[in-house]
Structure 1
Amino acid sequence: MNQPAPRSGAPQLTFRAVVLAIVLAVVLSAANAYLGLFAGMTIATAIPAAVVSMGVLRLLGGGTILENNIVQTGASAGSSIAAGVIFTIPALIIMGYWPDFKYWWVVGIAGLGGLLGVLFSVPLRRTMIVEDPLPFPEGKAAAEVLKAGDNPGPGLKILGVSAFSGALVKLMAASGLRIIPDTAAGAGFFGKYLGFMGTNLSPALLGVGYIVGLNIGIVVLSGSIISWHIAIPLYHAFYQSVDPVLAQEIANAGAEDAAWAIWGAKIRYLGVGAMLIGGVWTLFSLRKSLLSGIKSGIAAARKGGNEIVAETERDLPMKWMLIALAVFVLPLLLLYQAIVGNWMVSIPMAIIMVVAGFLFVSVSGYLAGLVGSSNNPVSGITIATILFAAAVLLLLMGASGTTPVGIAGAPLGAVAAIMIGAVVCCAAAVGGDNLQDLKAGYLVGATPWKQQLMLGIGAFSCALIMAPVLNLLVQAYGIGAPTAEHPNPLGAPQATLMASVARGLFGGELPWGIIGIGAIIGAVIIAFDEWLKKTGKNFRVPVLAAAIGIYLPLELMVPIFLGGLLAYVVEKRHGVLGAEESVRDRIHRPGTLFAAGLITGEALMGIFIAIPIVASGKADVLSLGLEFPGAEWLGLAVLALVAWLLYRTSMKPQPVAGETEGGPR
C-alpha cells in the first residue's frame, strides 16, 4: 500500500474538534448502552459521527478533513466503551453483588480498561495497518466519507429524519404513550406441541439488520428457530417431567406464557453452550494472529529509538506508554484488592488482566480488521477471559471463592472473574475500534498519536456517564430476569451469560446438560462454517452470531432478519449483488445512515422516557390510556412504514457525504 501524503500544517487536534468529539461520544455511548442491553448488539458510530462533524464544523466556519477525522475517532469510543460495559458490568447487578451501578467503580473499570485498550493497540498499528495491512472495512468506509465530505447536508438530513422516526415510534410504544405494543406475537398448542411466533416492533432492530446484512440476519434468525421452533416444542412434548416445578408452571399457563417459561428456565442455556464453544474456537482459530500481534508489539518496543519519523508515522512514544501502563494498572490492582482482600489473589488478578488484555486486544484488532467493529465478537473473547480467570481464581481461592458477598450473596470468586473480564472487554472493544480509526487516519494522512490521544479522551469521557445512564435504565425498565415491577426488562443477554458462567464455576446451579447440548450444537455450526469456507461459499455461519440467536428471544431476531432482507433487495435492485465491497458500500451509504439514525433516535428516546418514569415511580406515567384490541396490527403497519422509508432512501442514492458521482475514490 502506498503511503498517503501527509497534510502538513493542517489542524487536527483543535479545541472545537475535541469538544465535538466528546459530545458525540457521550451521546452515542448512551444510545449504544440502551441498544446493547435491549438487543445484545452495538453498532459502530464512526461514519454517522463523521457526517455530523462535517455539518457542525461547516456551520462554525469550515473544518479540515483531519479535524473531522479526529471527531469521528473520539466519537467511536461511544460504541466501544458501551459494548465493554454492558457486556460485563451488569452481571454484578444480576448476580446480586451490587444493588445499583457504583459510579467510581464503573469509571475505574471502564475508563482504565478503555485507556489500556488504547495503549495495547498502539504497537499493533504498524503490523496490521502498514506492514501487513488488513482490510479494516469500516475504517476504509470512514476514510471515503471524510474524503468526499464537501456536501454533508443531505447526509445530515437523512440522519435527522430517521432519528426522528425511530424516536417517534419508541415514544408511541409500551414504555411511552402506549399507543402500540412493543411486540406482536401469537402462540398455540398443536396437540402435544407448542408453537410460538412473534416479532418486536422496534425500528432500531430493523436498522441493525440493514447494517449487518442478510447473511447475519439469516444466521441469527436460524439460531432462534432452533430454540423456539425445535427445542421448546420438543421440551414441552417430551421432557416436562424432568423439572416438576416447571411442569406445574406450564400446566397453569397459556401457550405464550408456557413458551417463555420453558425458554427462560431451560432452552436459552443452549445458547450459553454454543457461546462457550464459540469463544474457545475464536481463540483457537486466531492463534496465528495472536502470535503475530505479540511479535509485532515486541518488535515495536525494540524499535523505540530516536530516529526521525514522518508525521503520519508518529505513534505515542513507547517509553511513555509503559509508564502509563504501570500508572493505570496500579489503581486496578487496588480495586481488586478491595474486592478479595488478599494480595496473593489480587496480584495474580492484575497479571491475568494485563496479559489477557494485550492478547485479546490483538485478537479484537485482527477481527476488526477482517470483518469490522460491528461484527467483532468481543463477547466471545470476554467469555474466554472469564473462563480462564475463573479457573485460575478457583485454584488460588479454593473454598473462599464461594464465600457469599454483596446484597444477594454472589460468590466472591465469580465477582472477581467478572471484574477481570470487564476490564479486558473494555480494552478489547476499544482496541479494535482504535485500529479501525487508525486505518481511516492512515488513508487520509493523519497523525497517529493525535488519534490515539483523542480516543483515550473519548473513552474516558464515556466512562464518566455510563453509571448514571445504566442506573436510569435499570430503574425505569429493569434488567435481566422479569420481576413483578418490571415484567419486560432489558435482557442484557451477554451480561446474563457472563453472570451464569462465573457463578456456575463457583458452586452455582446451572443446567449443565443443556449447556452441553448447546456446545454440541455450536461444534456442528463450526464444522458447517468450516465446510462453507473450504468450498469457497460466500455465505458463512459465524458461530457466535448463531449462538446469540439461540440465546435471545425469537421476536428480537425477526426484525433483524427483515432488515437484512431489505439490504439484500436493495443490492439486487441496484444490480450490485456479488460486486466489490466498495461498490456495495457506496450503494448502501444512504440506507446505512438512515439505519444508524433509526437506532440512535430510538435509543435516545428510550433514555429520555426513562427520566419521567424514574422521577414519578410509575411505569405508565406517559400513557395516554388509548390501549385497544388489535393494536399489534397498528404496530406492524408503523414498522412497515419505517421499512418503506428505509427502502425508499436506499433506492434513491443522494450525494451524501462519502458518495460522489464517480464512485468511491
Structure 2
Amino acid sequence: MKPVESTEAGQTGPVVPAWQTLPEITAKAVVLGVVLSIVLAAANAYLGLFAGMTVSASIPAAVISMAVLRLFARSNILENNIVQTAASAGESLAAGVVFTIPALIILETWTAFRYWEVTIIAAFGGLLGVLFTIPLRRAFIVEQPLRYPEGVATAEVLKVADAGGGGVGYLATAGGLGALFKLGGLGLKLWHEVIEYARLAGGSIAYIGTNLSPALVGVGYIVGLNIAVLIFIGGALNWWVAIPVLVATGAAPDGDPVAIAGTLWSTQTRYLGVGAMVVGGLWMLVRLRGSLVSGVRSGIEAYHRMRTGGGAEVPRTETDTPMPWVGWALVASVVPLFLIFNFFTGIVWVSAVMAIVMLVAGFLFSAVAGYMSGLVGSSNNPISGVTIATLLVSSLLLVAMIGADSPIGPAAALFIAAVVACAGAIAGDNMQDLKAGYLVGATPYKQQIMQAIGVIAAATVMAPILTLLLRAYGIGGPTVEQPNPLAAPQATLMASVARGVFGGELPWTMVFIGMAIAVIVIVIDLMLERRAASFRVPVLAVSVGIYLPFELEVPIFVGGLIAWAAERTRRRRGAAPGERYGLLFAAGLITGEALVGILMAIPIVVTSNPEVLAVGLAPQTWLGFLLLVSIAVGLYRSATSGAVSD
C-alpha cells in the first residue's frame, strides 16, 4: 500500500486510494467500537470527576482495535479506523457529561442522576456535535492547514498496524500497573493516596501536597511540559500566594493548617479560577472569530458547490452524509431536547428560547471546538471555556426572562450548557477522527455514522456510571459518609457560575481578581506571540491550574517534566521525535487506573462500606511514593525506547 506523508511534509495520497473500496462498517467493527466506546466512557467519566480533565482516546482505541482485529482472518486499516472513530466518541462524550451534569447534584436540583434526562442530553447533544461538523469537514481538514495532532498520530498508529507493527505491550503493561496501583491505594489501603503538609508561620501559611496517581502523571506526559508548567503556575498562584495572603490578613479559620488551606481554597480562592476561566473562554472566542466565520462560510460554499456541480461524481473519500439527512437529523435531535427543557421549566416559550440558544451556541461552539482541536489537539481543547461562555449567556437570558430569584434558573442554564458541552466535545473528537480517516483513505459519511453509533452507545451508560460513582465515592462536597468525594472540579465550577449569576453567591472580589489575572496572562501571551516564542501562555491552562486542587497539579507537572526529558533524550540519540511508545504507556496508566476506580465502586456500593477491600494494615505512604517513582521511571524508559515490546 502507498504510504502517507504528514500534512506538514506534503501529503502524497491516502493509504487506501479513492478508487479502491474496502469493507469499513462490518459487524465485528461495530461490536468492537460500541464496546470500546462504553469502556472508554466509563474510564474518562471517572478521570473527569477525579481530576477535572480527560484525554483523547483515539490512539489507545486504535491500538486496542488492531490487537483485537488481528484475531480475525480478514481485517483492514479502514476497519481499524472505523473502530477508533466509534470508540473515541465515548471518551469525548464523557467529558461533556461529567463537566456539566454533576453540577445538578452539586446544586441539589437532583439527588440522583435521572436516567432518561441524562441519556437524552448526552445522546442528542453528542449527535448535534456530529451533525454540526459535517458541513465543516472539508473547510477545516482539506482546505485549511490545521494540524489535528491526535488525528495525524492516530493515522500513523493505524499505518503501523497495517504494516504489522504495534505497541500493544506498552499499553497493556501500563494499564496493569495503573490498575494495581489504584487497587493498592484506594482499595487495599496500603498507602495514602494524598500526601499533604502545611505549617502556620510568620503570620501566614505554607502548603505542599501531591496525589500519588500514575494516571495524573500520564495526563501530564500527554499534555506536555508547556501546559503542565502553566497548570502548576496557576496552582502556585492560588496555594502559594492567594491563600497565604488571606491567612496573613486574618481571614483564616481556626484548625489544622492543612484544613485551613483547604477551607480557604474551597470557599474563597478557587473563585479566582472562575473569573480567570470566564475571561479565558471569552478571549478564545475573540481570537477565533475570523477563522470561525471563514470556516462556516467555506462549509456553506462547499455545500452549494456540491449541489450545483452538474452531477459530477464525488470521490469516495470526499463523500459526506447528505445535507437533507443532516437537516432531518437536526430536527430529530432538537425535539427531544426541547421536551426535556419543557418538562423541567413547564413554560413553553422559555423552553423554545432555550432550544434556540442551544442550537446557535451549539453550532458556534462546535465550530470553535473543531477548529481548536486542529490547532492544539483534543486533549488540550478547552471545552470548559466554551461551556462557561454558554452558561453565562444562558444564565443572563434566563434572568431576563424568569427573574434572578427563579428556583429553576441555574439548573435550566445548566441544561443548555450540558448539551453544548456534549456537542463541542464530540465536534473536536469528530474532526480528529475525520483527519485520521482523510489520511488513511476512509469514507467520511461512514465515519460520521460510526461516530453517531459511538455517541449513542456511550450515552446509554452515562447515567448508571455516574450513579455508581456518586453512591460509592460522592461527588462535589464532602459529607460524613463520604469524606473524600470525587472533586468534580469542572462541574463544581459550572454550578458556581450558574448559582452566582442567579443568586449572587459568588465571592465577586475573588472573581474580579481572577479576571484581572487572566487579562495579565493574555497580555503576556500576546507579547510572547509577537516574539515568536516557542513557549506560550494560553490563559485557560493557567486558569484551570488556579482552580484545581494543588495535589492534582504536582503529578501532572512531573508528567510534563518526563515528556520534556524524554524528548531531549530522543533527540540526543537521533531517534524520531514523534516516538509514541511513551504516549501509549501514559494512556495505559490512565486507562488502567480509571477502570479500576470504576470496578472498585461496585463492591463499595453493594456493601455500603468504603473500606470493604482494605486489608487492615497501617498505610505506608512511602511505599506508594516509591512505587509511583518506579512507574514514572518506566514511563521515561518507554518514551525513550526504540524497540517495540509486544
Q: Shorter-chain TM-score: what band?
A: over 0.9
Could you say which residue in structure 1 is the equivalent of 2:25? 13
| CA displacement at 1:371 relative to structure 2 | 0.6
**C-alpha separation between the residues in 2 aligned to 1:119 and 1:584?**
36
2:406 to 396, 403, 407: 403
**Structure 1 residues 258-314: Cα deviation after superposition (integer angstroms, max 9, x where no partner):** 111111111111111111111111111111122123213322442342542010010
Which of the numbers 306, 324, 328 marks the counterpart of 1:319?
Answer: 324
Q: Find the counterpart in structure 1 of residue 5 from structure 2.
A: none
Alignment partner of 1:163 is 2:175: yes
Aligned-partner Cα distance in 1 for 2:280–2:202: 36
Asked if 1:120 is matched to 2:132, the reply is: yes
Shift of 1:154: 5.1
Cα deviation per residue 1:49-106 (whole Å; 9 max; x = unaligned)? 1111111111122420100010111111022101110111111111011111111111
**Structure 1 gap segments, 5+ residues each:** 241-246, 405-411, 658-665
- Provide TM-score, normalisation by structure 2: 0.95
Question: Retained in 2: the 8 A contact 1:206–1:560?
Answer: yes
Q: Determine whether 1:24 maps to 2:36.
A: yes
Corresponding residue for residue 286 of structure 1: 288
2:96 to 63, 66, 84: 84
Name the counterpart of 1:453.
449
- For the residue of structure 1 that corresponds to 2:403, the secondary structure is helix
Q: Please show how residues 345-494 of structure 1 align to structure 2 within 5 Å.
A: 345-398=350-403, 402-404=405-407, 412-494=408-490
Whether the aligned pair in 2 keeps the contact of 1:7 and 1:446 (CA below 8 Å) is: no
Instruction: Report the secondary structure of 2:161's partner residue.
Output: coil
How far the C-alpha of 1:654 sits from its partner, in A, is: 2.1
SS of structure 2 residue aligned to 1:149: helix
Which position in structure 2 is the counterpart of 1:243? none
Q: Is the 8 A contact 2:228 2:556 kept in 1?
A: yes
Moved over 3 A (4+): 1-4, 150-154
State whether residues 361 and 431 of structure 1, in contact with CA within 8 Å, keep that contact through their aligned partners in structure 2.
Answer: yes
Q: Deviations over 1:218-239 (max 9, x none)?
A: 1000100001111111100114
Contact 2:570 2:577 in 1 (8 A): no
SS of the aligned residue for 2:196 comes to strand
**1:340-371 Cα distance to aligned partner (Å, 9 max, x none):** 11111111111111111110111001100011
After superposing the two structures, state which structure 1 stretch, 347-356 or 294-303, moved more. Answer: 294-303
Match for residue 196 of structure 2 among 185, 206, 223: 185
What is residue 218 of structure 1 aligned with on the other side? 229
| TM-fit CA distance, 1:133 | 3.3
Q: CA deviation at 1:132?
A: 2.0
CA shift, 1:653, in A, is: 2.4
Match of residue 67 from structure 1? 79
Q: Deviations over 1:398-448 (max 9, x none)?
A: 25xx333xxxxxxx1111110001001101110111111111111111100
Partners of 1:478 and 1:239 in 2: CA distance:
32
- Equivalent residue for 1:648? 637
1:255 is aligned to 257
> What secondary structure is seen at the aligned counterpart in 2 of 1:303?
helix
Residues 163 and 600 of structure 1 are in contact (CA less than 8 Å); yes or no, is this contact kept in structure 2?
A: yes
Structure 2 gaps of 5+ residues are 1-10
CA distance in 2, matches of 1:435, 1:272: 29
- Cα drift, residue 390 of structure 1: 1.1
Aligned residues with identical type, % of pairs: 54
Q: 1:329 offset after TM fit, Å?
A: 0.6
SS of aligned partner of 1:364: helix
Alpha carbons 2:77, 2:162 under 8 Å: kept: no
Residue 152 (structure 1) shift: 6.3
In the alignment, which of 282, 297, 300 is matched to residue 298 of structure 1?
Answer: 300
Deviation at 1:151, TM superposition (A): 6.4
List per-residue Cα deviations over 1:172-194 (Å, max 9, x = no partner). Answer: 11x31100111112111112111
Q: Among residues 340, 349, 355, which one is paired with 1:344 in the alignment?
A: 349
- Write the distance in 2 (CA, Å) between the matches of 1:209 and 1:152: 30
CA change 1:201–1:153 in 2 (3 A) is farther
Q: Distance in 1 between matches of 2:147 and 2:436?
A: 11
What letter corresponds to residue 359 of structure 2 in structure 1? Answer: V
The number of aligned residues is: 631
2 CA distance for matches of 1:349 and 1:73? 31
1:636 aligns with 2:625: yes
- Between stretches 343-352 and 597-606, larger displacement belongs to 343-352
Residue aligned with 2:97, SS: helix
Q: State the AA in 2 paired with 1:543.
A: V
Q: Per-residue displacement from partner, 1:448-480 (whole Å, max 9, x unpaired)? A: 000000000001100000110111011111111
Q: What SS does the corresponding residue of 1:118 show, helix, strand or coil? A: helix
**For the aligned residues, what is the CA RMSD?**
1.6
Q: CA deviation at 1:159?
A: 1.1
What is residue 613 of structure 2 aligned with on the other side? 622
**Contact 1:566-1:647 within 8 A present in 2 as well:** yes
Instruction: Tell me the distance in 2 between the aligned counterparts of 1:55 and 1:293.
Output: 37
Tell me whether 1:310 sits opposite 2:298 in the alignment.
no
Letter in 1 for 2:386: I
TM superposition shift of 1:333: 1.0
